[in-house]
Chains A and B, each alone.
Chain A
Amino acid sequence: MSKQVTITINGTQVTVPDGTLVVDAAKMAGIDIPVFCHHPKLEPVGMCRMCLVEIGRPMLDRNTGQVVMENGQPKIQFMPKLETACTNRVSEGMVVMTTSDKAMDGQKGTVEFLLTSHPLDCPVCDKGGECPLQNLTMQFGPGRSRFIYDEKLRLEKQVPLGELIWLDRERCIQCARCIRFQDEIAGEAVLGFDERGRNTQIVSLSDPGFDSVFSGNTTDICPVGALTTADFRFGARPWELKAQASICTQCPVGCNTTLNTRREAKAGGDIVVKRVMPRQNEEVNEIWLCDKGRFAHHYLESKKRLTRPMIRKDGKPTRASWDAATKLAADNFAKAKKDFVLLASGRLSNEDLFNLKSLADTAGGKAILYSDMGGGELTQLVGVGAGTNIGAMGKGDAILVIASDLYEEAPIWWLRVKQAADRGATLIVANPRETKLDRFARYTIRYAYGDEVKTVSSFGKKSKISDEFAKAKNAIVFFGSEGLGVNGVSALASSCASLLKESDHVGRPNNGLIGVWQRANDQGAFEIGFRPEANLAKALKGRAVYIVGADPAGDSPALAKALDGAKFVAVQDILETATTEIADVVFPAQAFTEREGTYVSGERRVQRFYAAVPVKGSSKPDFAITSMIAKQMGIILEGTSPSVVFDILANSIDAFNELNYERLAEVRGQWPIVGRGDLYYGGTTYENTQGLGVQLVPMAQVMGTVRIPKVRKEAALRPKEKELLAVPVNKLYDLGATVRSAELLGGRIGEATIFLHSSTAKKLGVEEGKPAKISFGGVSVEAVVKFDDTISTGVALAPRSMGIPIREPVVSKVK
C-alpha cells in the first residue's frame, strides 16, 4: 500500500494515497471542483483553468527544513495566485480552499472567458441537458459578459469528422480530451489541433476521417457539445430518455451498457432504443464502449422482425397460433427421437440455453453450438480466476494473444490489453499476419497458418520469450479463431491451457485462458454443455432440427442444402432470415432489449441484462418458447420467470453454484466516480447501479489442479499448385444480422472481399479491386480482391460473415 497523506479541503480532513491529484482527492471527499480538461482516466494537462483553487502548504524553515509552527499548528503558506487542482498532487498537510471568494472569482472568470466564443445554442445542441459547460455556466456563469459580443468567433458548425462523429467548431473549448483519449487510451492518434490561439481547432488526421473504433467515447467525455454522434443526432433531449441497464451482445467482452429509450413517432409510436451508452464496470469495460456496440443496435427495430408464429402450409408460410405451432414442432421432435438435433448460438442467454439443453437431454436429442470455435471446456477448467481485472495487470505480468485480431474481434479487450502493455506488462502477439496490436507488443511472433499449436508448444523450449512468459507474476492467454475451424481452435486451446498449467498460471485471479469467441454468450453455452460440431452439414442432414438464434442457411449454401434434406426444421429467431424462409415452423423470439436474462462473458463473468422496451407482436422469450414446446412433449420446464430458470440452472451446474439474480445485481463503489450530478468529471457514462456481475470460478481454482485433455491436431492442409489455402479471419463490421442494418456503419462494412498477396494475385491473374471467383468445397462465390502484402503468398484471407461461406481453413481456387 502506498503512502497515505492527510490534507484539508474546505475544512474537511481527507486521507488519500500520496500522489493523488487535488481534484481527485476532493472528489473522494465528496467535494466537487469544476473541471473541463481534466478527466480521471487521462493524464493531467491543466488546459482549461476551470479548477482554480487556493492551495496552501505548510511553511518550512529554510535553515532546519522543519515545519514552522504557529500556536501549535503548522503555519500554512498560501500561493499568491490560484493554482489548478488538476495538476497539483497532494502533499502532507496541504490546505485547499475550493469555495473561497478568491477561488470562486477565478472559476467565474474562467467560465466567462470560455463563453466568449461559445455559441450558447443549447436548445439545438445534443449535449444540452447533460452538458458540463451548461451546468457550470448555470452554477458559476455571470449573467452578463464583459467581453464584446461582436467579437464572438463564427466558426463552422457542422463538420463531419468521419461518418460517425460530428464536430461543431464553435462549441469546442479546446480541452483536448478527445485528442488525449485517442492518444493515451485508444493509442490511435487520429485527432489533433490545428492553428493556434483563438483559432485552435480540432481536426481529423486520418483517412477515412476519425478512423478509430473507439470514436464514440470522445462524445461521452467531450465536456461541451462539440463532438456528437451522427447516430443520435437530434434524436432526443437527454432528459426525455429513460435508462435501463443492459449488456452489449456484439462480442464476448460483455461491455456493460445503458439503453436510452424513448417513444418515437418515426417508429410508429413505439418505444425504441435511441442510443447505447457505456455503463461503468471497471473490471470489464471501464467507462468505454466500441463503435460497434454503440451504433449497431438498429437491427432491433428492423422491419424484418418476426412477430407471429408461422407454419408452412402447402409450401407457404401462414400465421398460426402458439398452440398449433408448438404442437407441430413438439410432435415432430418427439417422432424424431434420436434424430432430434438442436442448434443454438451464443446470441442466446443462459436461461434460453439451459432450457434448450434440458429439452435436448430429456428428449434424447443432441445439442450443438453454432460456432466455428471449440475449446470452451478448457476455459471452464483453466479460465481466468475469479477476481480477474486486466485493468490491474502491468509490470511483471504477461499477456499472450494468439490467432486473434483483438482490434477486430473484441475492441475493448484490445484497449485493455494495450493499456496493460502501456503499464509495463509483457505483451506477446502471435499471429500469421500483422495486426494493430503488434505496435504495443514486446514480442511479435509470426507463424504460418496451420502452425498455431506448434507455436504454442515452442514456448516449452527455452527462449527469451518463453522465459519471460514463464516467469511472469500473472499471465493470461487469449486464443482466437483466425485461420482456424472448430477442431483447430480446440487443439490450440488445449495447447494454450497446457502452456498455462505448465508455467503455473492457472487457478488465480489475472491468470488463465480466455477465448475470443464469436458471439456474446458462447462461453455460457459451453458452461451449459453445448459443444460445436466440425461437420455441421452432416449433423443436420436428415434430422428434425430445432434452430435457435442462428442462420445457417444464410451463412452457407452447404448448410442450406443440409437443411433442405432435413426431416423437419423449426426456427426460433428475432429476424427473418434465409433459414426462417425454409423452415416448417417459425417462432418469433424476443430480443435481449425486450426481456431479462444473463450472459457469460469471455472472462466468465455472469452479467444481467434488463428489459428496456416493450415486446414486439406476440413474440416470447426463447426460454419460454422452449418450455412451451417441451410441455407439448410432456416435459416440464420453467417458462415464466427467467430468474427461476436461472435458479434451477445454478442448482444443476456447479460453476453457477449459489448465484442468483440478486447477487448479479450487486454493486460496489467504483473509482472514478462517474455519472452522478457531476457530468463534468467523468463524462456522460452511466454509473453502474444495476449490477457488476459475478465471475465464475474455474475448476483449477476450485480443485487446485486439473488435468488438461489433449486434443489431437489435424494435419495441416497443403494446397497444390494453382491452389490457395483460404483461411477465415474476423472483421469487426461484417454482414452479420446484428450489424448490417446499422446504416451508419454501412460504409465501413463493405462487400465480400478476399485478401491476397500482390505477387500471388499476379500469378493467378486477378486484379486489385476487381471481383474474382473463389471456389472451395463445392461452392463458388464472387469476392472483390484486395492486396495485402503483409500476408504470406500461399493464402487467401476470407473474412467470416462477409458473403464467403468459410468456417475453417480450406484449399481453394481463385480465378
Chain B
Amino acid sequence: MGVFDPIIELSRGLGETLRSFLFEKTVTYQYPEEKRPVRPRFRGRHVLKRYDNGLEKCIGCSLCAAACPADAIFVEASENTDEKRFSPGERYASTYEINMLRCIYCGFCEDACPTEAIVLGDNYELSFTDRKQAIYTKDLLLEPVPSEQMLTPRKVEPRAFTRSVPEMKDPTD
C-alpha cells in the first residue's frame, strides 16, 4: 500500500458525499410538518365506516372481537328503533372499544367484518400519556359525517331499513 492510497480513498468518499449533496434529491421528510403518504394496504388506526347515507356500517356482531388474536376489541350490541336508528337493521354497536395498546394491527378484524364496517386506516400517529387514553371508544373510531343531518342516531321512516347484513355477493376483486 502506498503513502497516498488513504488520501485517494478519502477523497473518493468525500467526492461521493459532494456528488449526492449537489445532485441527488433529499429523502428526508420533515415530519411532522411534512408527511409521507402510506401504502394502499397500510394497517393503521381503525376507522368505523358509514354508508353514504350516514348510517353506521357496524352492526355490533362482535365477530371482530372474536377474530382478534390480542383480545383488544370489546363490543356490546343494542337494538335499533326507527326513532333512534344508528345502523340499518335491528342491531347496532352501543359500545365499541379497541385497546390500542393490545392491538397488533394484524387486520383480522377487517377480514372478519361482515359489513366492511371496520377498516384499518392510515393513521399511525398514536401516542398516549396514560393507559386509559389507549382505549379508543366508538365516537373516536367512527368516521366523521359531512353534514349534521347524517349524524346517528336519527329518526327514520318506519320500516325503511329492515335489513342489516348487505346482500351477499361473490367478491369481485
Contacts and interface: CB of A to CB of B under 8 A. Distances in A.
Interface string A596-627: 00000000000000000000000000000000
Interface residues of A, number: 19
Nearest to B93: A234
B90 A157 contact: yes
A263 B91 CA distance: 19
B78 A234 contact: yes
Contacts of B162: 157
A264 interface: yes
Nearest to B97: A265
B168 A120 contact: yes
B169 to A, nearest CB: 9
Interface string B92-118: 001101000000000000000011000
A401 to B, nearest CB: 41
B168 A124 contact: no
Interface in B148-170: 162-165, 168
A766 B173 CA distance: 76
Contacts of B89: 121, 124
Contacts of A157: 90, 162-163
Contacts of A237: 61-62, 66
A234 B74 contact: no
A199 B5 CA distance: 95
A266 B89 CA distance: 22
Nearest to A168: B90
Contacts of B122: none
Contacts of A236: 62, 76
B114 A123 contact: yes
Contacts of B54: none
A234 B66 CA distance: 16
A242 B130 CA distance: 30
Contacts of A128: 61
Interface string A664-675: 000000000000
Nearest to A152: B167
Contacts of A471: none
Nearest to B164: A124
A121 B65 CA distance: 18
A121 B168 CA distance: 10
B145 interface: no
B138 to A, nearest CB: 10
Contacts of B66: 237, 239-240
Interface string A795-806: 000000000000
A456 to B, nearest CB: 52
B62 A120 contact: no
A123 B61 contact: yes
A123 B59 CA distance: 8
A119 B78 CA distance: 20
Q: Chain A binding site: helix, strand, loop or mixed by DSSP?
A: loop
Given A233-B79, A264-B76, A124 B91 contact: yes
Contacts, number: 55
Contacts of A640: none
A265 B165 contact: no
B47 interface: no
Contacts of B62: 236-237, 240
| Residue of B61, B162, B164 ringed by the most chain A CB atoms within 10 A | B61
B77 interface: yes
Interface string A106-135: 000000000000011101100010000000
A516 to B, nearest CB: 38
Nearest to A264: B76
B168 A234 contact: no
| Residue of A157, A239, A265, A266 ringed by the most chain B CB atoms within 10 A | A265
Contact of B165 (A121, A240, A266): A121
B164 A121 contact: yes
Contact of B91 (A120, A234, A240, A266): A234
B76 A158 contact: no
A443 B60 CA distance: 55
Contacts of B165: 119-121, 123-124
A234 B164 contact: no
Given A124-B90, A264-B76, A234 B65 contact: no
A124 B79 contact: no
A266 B79 CA distance: 14
Interface string A299-318: 00000000000000000000
Interface in B37-86: 59-63, 65-66, 74, 76-79
Interface in A230-266: 233-237, 239-240, 263-266
A116 to B, nearest CB: 14
B95 A124 contact: no
B61 A265 contact: no
A234 B77 contact: yes
Contacts of B76: 236, 264-266
Contacts of B115: 123
Contact of A265 (B79, B90, B95): B95
Given A123-B59, A123-B63, A124-B165, A265 B74 contact: yes
Contacts of B74: 263, 265
| Residue of B62, B78, B115 ringed by the most chain A CB atoms within 10 A | B62
Contacts of A120: 165, 168
Contacts of A123: 59, 61, 63, 114-115, 164-165
Contacts of B78: 234
Contacts of B63: 123
Nearest to B65: A240
Contacts of B114: 123
Contacts of A265: 74, 76, 94-95, 97
A235 B77 CA distance: 7
A239 B63 CA distance: 10
| Residue of A124, A157, A266 ringed by the most chain B CB atoms within 10 A | A124
Interface of A: 119-121, 123-124, 128, 157-158, 233-237, 239-240, 263-266
27 contacts: A119-B165, A120-B165, A120-B168, A123-B61, A123-B63, A123-B115, A123-B164, A123-B165, A124-B60, A124-B90, A157-B163, A234-B60, A234-B77, A234-B91, A235-B77, A236-B76, A237-B61, A237-B62, A237-B66, A240-B66, A264-B76, A265-B74, A265-B94, A265-B95, A265-B97, A266-B94, A266-B95
Given A119-B165, A123-B63, 6 more contacts: A121-B89, A124-B91, A157-B163, A236-B62, A237-B66, A263-B74
